[in-house]
Structure 1
Amino acid sequence: MLDAHSKTVVLVLQGIRWLRDGHDVRVISTGNNTRAISTSITQQLEMSLSAGPTPSLTPGCVSFHQYNFWDRKDGEENVEQAVTDLLVWVKNGHLHALIDEASFDSRDRHGPLLTRLVTRLAQQVPHLYLWCAGVLNRDLPTALQTHVFTVPLRSAPTVLREIQPVIHRFKVNDYSDSGMPAPGDGLSVIRLSHHGNAHTGRWPVDCSQCGQDIAAVLRRLGVGSSAANSPSRLSYRDVFVLTRSDDLQDDVTDEAGQVTSPASGVVQGLKDAGVPVSVLGVQDWLHNRARWERAVQDVAVAATDTVTVAWYGWVKGLERRVVAVLQGRDRGDDDAGKTDEKIDRLNRLSAVSRCTTQLITVRTPPVTTTTPPSLTTTTTPTATTTHTTT
């Protein structure tokens, strides 16, 4: 089990090693929320094959396998199908496979099913090389050997400090010191406020002005600028705008192309400011699965030079150089009794951790309550004695 910033890197490096030793590698996605990162890993492994010669006379090949262990109705059947499919690929008793964003937590419906997959494969494959990477260390299967990697490899110290205060409140190992000084502290966090007359809606995701404020920051950072023609310049594809809200959407149109439901405020604000945007929200997954699948494929490989605005559950494991995190809640949080403090912890662990360089936060100022003068109780001293404590 690996920390959030090193796990995918280590999986890719191990997959490349297997390929160059002549082994085939199976990349397994166990749910819609891991499709993007699994697609990204697959692409990186495929690129490694075309990058140059390998020590093996016959390098291995890569294949992607998509399942959905989160399905309430067919989750167990999907596990059995995964076992059946993967056993076909066993060669001379060997199977090499990678699973990113693995969680074996018994409290959710996904965890026990993933445990069953690992256990079944361990029982039936004599030489199983299955690497599972995740950030949670709860209920790990006994079939897995556990190695804890806690040295952050990619994010700047300024970003890590935004995540570190909440780590101890999860079943997550804290970061450790690499023993080597960081090359720099990183860029200061840019903090925007969803507040003022021009701002609308309860949360930043609903606010066009917040979208324009983010666009102004991106312009200051030089994102999308053609003036700086260097490998280090920022493109729109280097940017995530992430939210917890499941109401996020782009314009919904009918068959005639007429808008039947407008884009979320932050999306509209970005577009009004001239920022090219791709949206990866829950609504497309529910109502336009084909568009959702195209968007997932695109964001996984950063194929299009657009800013990705997404529900952060869809981009687990992916990283961007610039990430704007919008404060907010989804519709089920109130029913589940999740406090603002818990939502903040989830946002830091799941969204802030996607950032490697420049973090932007957009928050609603806390509501302060003042007592009306008529209800203020005043106390008149009854003695003139003064007590001084030193």
Structure 2
Amino acid sequence: MKPVLLLLFCGKTVVLVLQGVRWLLQGHDVQVVSTIYSTRAASRMVAGQLGMALSADPTPPPTPGSIVLHQYDFVNREADVQQAVTDLLARVKDGQLHVLLDEALFGSNVYGPRNTTLVARLAESVPGLHLWAAGVLHTDIPPSLQPEPLTVPLRCAPSVLREVQPAVGRLTARIHNYSDSGVPAPGDGLRVIRLSHHGNAHRGRWPVECQQCGKEVAAELLRLGVGSGGSSLPNSPTPLSYRDVVIITRSSELQDDIEDDAGRVTSRASGVVRGLRDEGLPVCVLGEQDYRHNRARWERDVDDVAVAATDRVTVTHLDCVHGLERRVVVMLPGRHKETDEGRSDEAIDVDDRLYAVSRCSTQLIMVDVPRRKCVVS
């Protein structure tokens, strides 16, 4: 039986990286596997951090292992499952294979069974399989894996955890509750900043559609010192850069300017993106529409965001940043026209808190929407 880390949203990717570094220093090659587009950024981040850890080691081993990143699309290409098996079996050395699989989500309707098939095939074929997976509900563990629950939050401040805890509390049948680390937090963390998508200047049903929301979020970020070379965060001598900020929504309406082959804009960027740019913030957009209309640019931007290479604020659909953390997280409520149809507000709120709010390590900004009946069309 091989270990798997359970999904607790606050430090699981850190543990994967630490295990990967251990393997590399022992001389083993590490296979970092992404099976769908929503895990691209997290997997590329893991591979990047492994590389940085090796290069920063003052006493590296004479023959460290190498890092190999594998990318597949289990949602749209079922044949990729066999391709992944073939590729990974070709990497077996001396009867051993070392694999990191982040955001596995074995219970997902489409790619969950395919992830399960991948793991089962590897377990059957490689006696010396060492596979660590994160992003797993304890009700969905494949029989070929041994659970090792991670219940101590490693990254979030207590003030952020209080925003996440209600979601965990509503899912205790599927997610273990947090446990006490035994080490007191150095402080409560920063007060959660709350803005409101409300008033005469605001437009649209949701903040992502609203240029005024973009302006108000930008004003708050500038007040925090983002991009100024300084920081107004208490006890934080490290300056806040634009790359430290991610703005997350589940809205399917998020997009950047869409251009035709001649470079003409055929569909303007979402209101919140225009508002941010109006205030001078450099912005990178990772939306579903961008993935469909300009996949090459989207892939380049994911590479960039995964390692925070360019100093830009990232505005993204939450599926694109599973596993990524930032010092400042802005949460924009919204709805996805397809996947949220028929879902309750409570269920959507659980997803927002687990997959978006828990990305925050320092300062959380929540944009509230006045309560009214939700109609997903």
Paired residues of 1:206 and 1:265 also in contact (CA < 8 A): yes
CA distance in structure 2 between the partners assigned to 1:91 and 1:185 by the alignment = 47
Counterpart residue number, 1:379: none
Secondary structure at 1:145's aligned position in 2? strand
CA distance in structure 1 between the partners assigned to 2:300 and 2:194 by the alignment = 32
Report the Cα offset of residue 227 of structure 1. 5.0
Report the Cα offset of residue 254 of structure 1. 2.7
Q: CA offsets per residue over residues 285-341 of structure 1, 9 Å max, x none?
A: 11111011011101101011010000010000000000010011111256x311222
Counterpart residue number, 1:80: 82
Q: Which among 42, 48, 53 is matched to residue 43 of structure 1?
A: 48
CA distance in structure 2 between the partners assigned to 1:283 and 1:204 by the alignment = 17
Larger of the two Rg values belongs to structure: 1
Q: CA offsets per residue over residues 214-234 of structure 1, 9 Å max, x none?
A: 011001101001356996110
Q: Which among 201, 209, 213 is matched to residue 206 of structure 1?
A: 209
Report the Cα offset of residue 257 of structure 1. 3.0
CA distance in structure 2 between the partners assigned to 1:261 and 1:190 by the alignment = 32
Counterpart residue number, 1:260: 266
Counterpart residue number, 2:100: 98
CA distance in structure 2 between the partners assigned to 1:261 and 1:133 by the alignment = 37
Paired residues of 2:104 and 2:133 also in contact (CA < 8 A): yes
Q: Which among 188, 193, 197 is matched to residue 190 of structure 1?
A: 193
- TM-score, normalised with respect to structure 1: 0.90
* Aligned counterparts, 1:297-312, within 5 A: 297-312=303-318
Q: Which among 42, 45, 61 is matched to residue 56 of structure 1?
A: 61
Secondary structure at 2:147's aligned position in 1? coil
Secondary structure at 1:365's aligned position in 2? coil
The sequence identity of aligned pairs, in percent, is 61
Paired residues of 2:230 and 2:240 also in contact (CA < 8 A): no
Secondary structure at 2:367's aligned position in 1? strand
CA distance in structure 2 between the partners assigned to 1:255 and 1:141 by the alignment = 46
After TM superposition, the structure 1 stretch with the greater mean CA deviation from structure 2, 47-56 or 158-167, is: 47-56
CA distance in structure 1 between the partners assigned to 2:231 and 2:347 by the alignment = 41
Paired residues of 1:104 and 1:138 also in contact (CA < 8 A): no
Q: Which among 274, 278, 285 is matched to residue 284 of structure 2?
A: 278
CA distance in structure 2 between the partners assigned to 1:228 and 1:193 by the alignment = 24
Secondary structure at 2:291's aligned position in 1? helix
Counterpart residue number, 1:141: 142
* Aligned counterparts, 1:336-347, within 5 A: 336-347=341-352
Is structure 2 residue 122 aligned with structure 1 residue 121? yes
Structure 1 gaps, min length 5: 369-390
CA distance in structure 2 between the partners assigned to 1:129 and 1:122 by the alignment = 9
Q: CA offsets per residue over residues 30-63 of structure 1, 9 Å max, x none?
A: 1101010000000111112211355632111101
* Aligned counterparts, 1:1-390, within 5 A: 1-2=5-6, 3-54=8-59, 56-71=61-76, 74-75=77-78, 77-105=79-107, 108-170=109-171, 171-227=174-230, 232-333=238-339, 336-367=341-372
CA 22–53 in structure 1, closer or farther in 2 if over 3 Å, else same: farther
After TM superposition, the structure 1 stretch with the greater mean CA deviation from structure 2, 59-68 or 337-346, is: 337-346
CA distance in structure 2 between the partners assigned to 1:111 and 1:228 by the alignment = 42
Paired residues of 2:329 and 2:364 also in contact (CA < 8 A): yes
CA distance in structure 1 between the partners assigned to 2:106 and 2:262 by the alignment = 46
Report the Cα offset of residue 258 of structure 1. 2.5
CA distance in structure 2 between the partners assigned to 1:333 and 1:33 by the alignment = 15
CA 188–135 in structure 1, closer or farther in 2 if over 3 Å, else same: farther
- What's the Cα RMSD here? 1.6
Report the Cα offset of residue 169 of structure 1. 2.7
Matched residue type, 2:240: L
Structure 2 gaps, min length 5: none
- TM-score, normalised with respect to structure 2: 0.93
Matched residue type, 1:40: M
Paired residues of 1:6 and 1:152 also in contact (CA < 8 A): yes
Matched residue type, 1:362: V
Paired residues of 2:325 and 2:360 also in contact (CA < 8 A): yes
Paired residues of 2:230 and 2:238 also in contact (CA < 8 A): no
CA distance in structure 2 between the partners assigned to 1:112 and 1:18 by the alignment = 28
Counterpart residue number, 1:381: none
CA distance in structure 2 between the partners assigned to 1:295 and 1:94 by the alignment = 34
CA 262–39 in structure 1, closer or farther in 2 if over 3 Å, else same: same
CA distance in structure 1 between the partners assigned to 2:178 and 2:354 by the alignment = 13
Secondary structure at 2:148's aligned position in 1? coil
Paired residues of 2:258 and 2:293 also in contact (CA < 8 A): no
Matched residue type, 1:103: L
Secondary structure at 1:332's aligned position in 2? coil
